[in-house]
Structure 1
């Protein structure tokens, strides 16, 4: 069902969310968009039962959202120490 190379979907979702933000999406909606995109990718891309596709899709979206949030926090903390 889930191959290790499918993890590459997470940064792809992150990139698409960043694209949406650059065209005007408020940052507070980015986690919601990430989960929605993950859900869509999971349902369309994976070859499994519907329950598994939905679950993995949500996992993709939440992972992308967490990756963005974690990276943003690290960058902001670095800026505070340098400023």
Structure 2
């Protein structure tokens, strides 16, 4: 459960960054999420990977659906979280 909450936190950070800087590129987004991970002092590697994966997926959803509201983007991400977590666990 903690992992999923952190993933949503990362997604929210991405959406906030995009609102502040609509021209943000992939590198900006991932640097922002890396900074969030650092500030929160997250140690567990699996959680870090999950947060980065959620950020990437959020950025992808937002780019593919520019008319989606933040709520719609988060809803789409939440539906994908179990699949993302499963893929991470398979690879670790």
When normalised by structure 1's length, the TM-score is 0.48
Which structure has more relative contact order (CA 8 Å, sep 6+)? It is: 2
The structure carrying a bigger helix percent of its residues is 1
Rg (Cα) greater in structure: 1
When normalised by structure 2's length, the TM-score is 0.45
